[in-house]
Each structure stands twice: as structure tokens, then as C-alpha cells.
Amino acid sequence: MGQAMGNLFEVNFTNLFHSLLEKNHSFENKFAPAVFFLADKQGKICSVFESAFLPQEMLEFFITVKHALMNGKTLPANDLCMLLTAEIVIPAGISSWNGKLGMIVLKSSCSAVEISSFLTGFKAAIPPAAKLVELEEKTKSLRKTVRVHAKMEQILKETECSDDFRLFVERYLWSVHENADSEGEVVFFLFDEARKAFLPEVSTDGKIVREKERYTLTMEAFQSLFADVAEQEIRIFYKADIPAIPMVQELESISDYLLLPVMFKGSALGIILYFVRTGSCHLQHIDEIVELTSALSPWMKRLLDYEEMMLEKTRKELLLKVNRKFYSCMDVNATLEEIVCALLEAYPELQVELLLSHDWYVAPHLSVQPFHFTRGDEGDLASLTYLTGELSIQTEKEKTVLYVPLKGKQGVYGVFHMEYKGDRRFLKKELEFIQVLADTGGNAIENTELYQQSQQYISNLQLINKTSHQLNQHLNLTEMVQYMVDIMQTTFEATDVGFIKFSDKPPAGDQVMDGSSSYFSSGTCNNDLALVIDVMKTEKEEIFIGNSSGNSLYISNYQSMMAVPMLHNHRVIGCVIVLSTELYAFSFDMFKLFKSLVHHSTLAFVNSLLHEELKQLVITDYLTKLYTREYMDQRIAESMKADLYGAFILMDIDRFKQINDQYGHQIGDEVIIQVAKVILAAIDEEKALAARWGGEELAVYLPEMQLEDAVKVAEAIKKNVKETTAPRVSVSCGVACWDRQAGKKSLKKLFNDADRAMYKAKNLGRDYVAY
């Protein structure tokens, strides 16, 4: 009695009906064999209870009745069996029902009155029995709820109501593990929204969490499973329930497992996995574990939301921190360092490398590489990111790489190469945070660059203004060149600086100005710079070389060069050349400043050159190019103050009137010029002075020279004049000297002594040296 009919009937009675029938012994005694069944309003038989063994005829009649109920037809009659039914409505509750009660018995065993009476009594017994069952279930549920709440209280107490999600889940997992009657492990897989997968987050076996990638479960595999869970109460799924779900290799090899989805408002927070490597899974108090999980899921959701809120707070604090740093710092290196530190603080698992397109100084401890743009290479995401200014993601088997542009309002200055070992999916808000952080840094760098440029412009203007002011104070050309050389060597850290004056007169040639650095005074300078000077003269273009190797303008021992022509009234009057032995010694900003300095100094140099030329014209005799008598007077007076002694030669061209009368004044002038050249050839112009004293009279002053030596000079001049002039002439020379120790000295006495000596020479027959 009370046994199901095998596979013939779909479902057995509920506990309620089985319990009532099993307790009613009159059913077995009076109505065996018999069939008691329950059908719903649609006629579908839901539960069956049979008494004793059913005869074949009764069994066939029951099947006929079943089909009639299902098809809504009139219930059949039978000669052997009797069928009676009664409408039944079980009050709403745990065992609520609305349908038919039916009973089939042999006609020979009892009468219709007895069957009707039994059904009426059984029907009357159902409501109180259902109420009793409902009360028992409520009591049982209440006890279970009390135990669940006690367990919740225990977990919260042990974790001290911590906001640490992982601490809470770990204690919860050990609570589940305590109900296992076999050795096994419990793992909580947290749903990763970015990857649409479940990743092991907390486990009683730490190895699984440390190797997340090996144990990742995809959401796709559980989609249908969670769709069912969303419609029903949360429940446990056993391995046998989910044979089609593809698991990772490590989990497929385990002996047995069960899954408990952790749901909140229809969405999966995660999965509880309990597994054993050998044997079968056995958990005590499964209903309580399910209810505990359901009860704790809102708390888990709260902890996850709090964690996300704190993460968002951290991100905002990082942004605020870097903004404060950026606004208080005007240094590119410090700005870049702050960005990298902020990224590593937010994502410590990332490896960050910066690809920079600008030549900024960056601290050695930062991982920085120069950015090399490769046009047309679709596989180069760094170049694509730089070109578009949009973040790019590259996912490979063992790593995930982010390419984040470092951009400001005016351009892109580089790319952050951020690498994660493993498959890492970033949420949209994470990518937005990273991009905002990089953009903030890009704008800060841009502001820093603008500030530094403005400071550099101010510094350059101050330097140009100071230089112009100084140049306008110095009228001596050599002093001006020396000043500019010092300025350029200091400003550009140059090895050598030279100023070269071009000449339109080939015999004179191009001239390195006095004050240029040592290299430009060397013998190799002219050959080395020949091509550079030719470019300056013919093309009037600047030269800017950072690596002279292989360059046609190569200058031995120098790697870097800047050269700018000095232009005045569209004419190249010279050039300035700056050299360095270092590769790429000069930046483009230096080159621009160099051009400005040359441009602003050119006018001052032109004025100084004109001043020198005018000065030279004032102190130089137009015909002979010797100094004037006035200038010689001035120089002799200075010598008498500075030196201890000196000599003076006064000479007159003999019979010069006859030359003018015989050959004309033009030839006479030529003779004077020839004599002047002989004089210049005989003296050291660095020390001695030659002047046209007046008419055909010429003079030489020899500082720091005794009388005997001066006589020798005069003799040499006399001899060479007679031998080299045409028409041939001679000179009469008078030599005088002064000595500080000999007594009173004066220009007048010196000149008078020389004049008397010259006339003495003439009286002695001309072509003579007297003293």
C-alpha cells in the first residue's frame, strides 16, 4: 500500500494526500483493490494512490478515464468497475489545490453509497489536514529562519560588520564548508561585468584564486541556467543537473561539484562552487545554505557597491591630487611622474611605459621610450592612438594592452603603453577614468610648456635686450665680437664661436674678426669653413646641423653646427658660426634664439664697422694709407707715458720737386705711395707707426727701440727706396730718440731733433741717414 505505480503515472500524490490515505486504514480494508486520484481543472491527473494490486481491467479503465479527463469528454462507465468523483477546493496555503478527487473500485466490493460517503468524509478531512501541514511547515520554516539569522549574526560578528567584501565572503565560504561531510573546497566566483565572466575571487583553496585565468567561467555557459533562476527561487544545481555546461579543464577533471548562484534582483552577483576531487558532494542543511545565501545576497551587493563607491572615491581623490600637483608645478618631468604614479596607484597590476613624441627630460626611474610613428601600419595601435587621439585596446592570449593618448587641447604628445599580464577587461567607466587622467596630464603638460615657453621667450627677450644695450655701448669692434662670443658660448654651451667678415675685394679676402674663439684663429679654419662660407654668400640661408657625419658641410672634430648670415640692406656682410663637439648639442629653440641674436646684433656690428672705417679714414692719409701726423702725435704722447724709451725717424724724398716738374704730379703721388709701401714693409705694424708728416715728408715712430736699432731701420728704408722706386728716388733720414732716464722728454724736442738730423742728412749730400 502507498507505493507508486512506476512509470505508468506521471506524478505521485503530494505528502498531504499520501499522509491522509496512509492513516485511513478503512480505505485499504474496504476498497481494495482501488485507485484514488487527483486531477486539476484542466483534467490532467497529477497524483495517484493505489490500494493493493490492480486488476488488468481496472488498470485499463483508469487509463480510459485519464484520457477522457484530459480531452474534456464525458467520463466513461464500466461493467466491472465503478467511478465516482467529487469537486475539491483546498484553501490557499502551502498545499492549495482546485480540481477533482476521483475513486475507482470494483462494483463487487462495495456500493455507490459507501464510496460517496467515503469521498465526502475524505473531502471534509482535507482542509484541516492542509491547515495542520501548513502550520508544521511554518514552524519548520521559522526554526530554519532562526538558524539562518543566527548564522548571519555569527558571520557579521566574526567579520565585525566589516566593509571588506572578500573578508565577508571568506567567512561565509567557511560557514558553507562546515556543513560538508566530505573533504572539498568552496569557491566564490565573482561576476566580472567587463569580461562577462565569473572569476574566482575568494576560496578555501588559495591556489584557485591565485590562478584566476585557469578557472574563469564564462557567462555564456550559464545564461540559460540563470534565466531559470531568475524566474524561480534560488536553488542548488548539481553536476547531474548541468551536464551541458562547458567548464574549464581543471573543473571538468574533478569528481563531483554543485553550484549555487548568488542572485540579487534577478542579476547574478556570483556563483558558489563546492567540489570534491574524489567521491561525491554531500552538504548538510542544504535548504538553510540556500536561504542563508539568499538572505546574504543583499549584504554582498551592498559591500560590492561600497567597494565600487570607494574605488570611485579613490579615483576622484587621485584626480584631485594630480590636479593640485599640476597647478602647483610647472615642470614636465614632475607632471609625467605624477601621471604614472597615479595610474600605478589606481591599477598596481599594470606595467606602464610612456612613449613620448617630444624631447623632454624625464627622470631615469620612469619607463620612457621615444615614440616612433609608423604611417600605414594597421597593426601598430600606438601609432593609431597617436594619430586619432582615441584610446585603443589590444587583447592577446596572455596579456591585455591599453594604448592611451597623452593629449592636450593643441595636440597629442605621446602614448601610454599599459600592459596587464592576462586577460583583463576594463569597464567603460575605468577607461573613462584612465583617459581623463591622461587628458588632465596632457593639459597640464601643455600649460607647463606654454609657461616654460613664455618664460623662455621672456628670458630670450631679456638676453636680446641686454645684448643690444651692451653692443650699443661698445664701439670697439673687437670688444663687441668678444662679448657676443662669450654670450653665445654660455647660452648655447658651444665649443667655439666665430664671426667672419666678408669682403668684396678678393685680395683682402674674408676675415675672421678679432675676438672669435681659438679654433677660428687656427690654420685649418679657412679650409674647413670654405664650403660653409660659400653657402652663406650664395644662398643666404641658415645652416642647422645636429649630426655632421656624412654631411657635405662636415667640419672635422665637430658634430653640431649653427650658422647664420649677417644681412644688411639685402647684402651678406658676414656670418656667425657656432660649433659643438657634441651630437645634437643645439635645440631648435636655441637655433631660433641664435638667429634673433645675430639679427639684432648685425646692425650694431654694421655701425661699429662704419665707425671703425670712419675712424680709420680720420687717422689715415688718403693717398698713402699711412697714419696722419695728428694721430702719430697722439700715439707718441701715449707711448711717452707708458714706455721707457722710443725712436723717431723723419724722412724727406730728395729732389721731389724735380719729379713733379719732370713727370707730373700724378707720378709724384705714385712715388710717395711707393715710398710708403717700402716703409710699411720695413716695420712691424703691430708695434711701429708710419705716418705722412706733410707733403713729401714721411715719418716712423718705433716705441721701445734704442737709437742704434732705429738707425738700422732707417738705413734699410733708405736702401730699399733707392732700389725699388720708379722713377728712382732717394730719401734723407733724420733719427732722434727719447729716454725716460735721460731727462725731460717732449714731443716738440723729439720732432726738432729729428728735423735737425734730417737737414743734416740733406747737407751731407742727400740719400743719407743722420742722427
Q: What is the pLDDT of residues 452-510, one digit of tens each?
A: 788 888 888 888 888 888 877 766 788 888 989 999 999 999 999 999 988 776 545 78
Reduced to 3 states (helix: H, G, I; strand: E, B; else coil), residue 694 is strand
| 595-653 pLDDT per residue, tens | 999 988 888 888 777 777 777 777 888 888 899 999 999 999 999 988 999 999 999 99
In angstroms, the CA 414 to CA 416 distance is 7
Which residue is it, cell 648655447? 492
Please name which of 339, 315, 265, 218 lies closest in space to residue 307, comparing C-alpha atoms: 315
Which residue is it, cell 563546492? 274
**Neighbour tally for 374: CB within 10 Å:** 11
Cβ–Cβ < 8 Å for 539, 570: no
Number of alpha carbons in the 13 Å side-chain half-sphere of residue 223: 5
Segment (H or E) for 622? none
In angstroms, the CA 102 to CA 695 distance is 162
Give alpha helix (H) positions in 159-243: 165-177, 206-210, 219-231
| 230-271 pLDDT per residue, tens | 544 567 777 776 655 555 556 666 778 888 888 888 788 888
**Which residues have CB under 8 Å from 620's CB, separation 6+?**
626, 627, 628, 631
Reduced to 3 states (helix: H, G, I; strand: E, B; else coil), residue 342 is helix
Give residue 615's Cα distance to chain centre. 61
**Hey, what's the torsion of the CAs at 363, 367, 371, 377, to 10 degrees?**
180
Reduced to 3 states (helix: H, G, I; strand: E, B; else coil), residue 487 is helix
Segment (H or E) for 433? helix 428-473
pLDDT at 10 over 60: no
Q: What single DSSP character describes residue 570? A: T
In angstroms, the CA 697 to CA 651 distance is 6
| 301-355 pLDDT per residue, tens | 888 888 888 888 888 888 888 877 777 777 888 888 888 888 888 888 888 888 8
- At 446 the pLDDT is 83
Cβ–Cβ < 8 Å for 140, 242: no
Residue 720 confidence class, pLDDT cut points 50, 70, 90:
very high
pTM: 0.50
Please name which of 528, 522, 572 lies closest in space to residue 554, comparing C-alpha atoms: 528
The amino acid at 609: L
Q: Which domains does the chain have, with CATH numbers?
A: 15-135 (3.30.450), 159-310 (3.30.450.40), 342-451 (3.30.450.40), 474-609 (3.30.450.40), 620-770 (3.30.70.270)
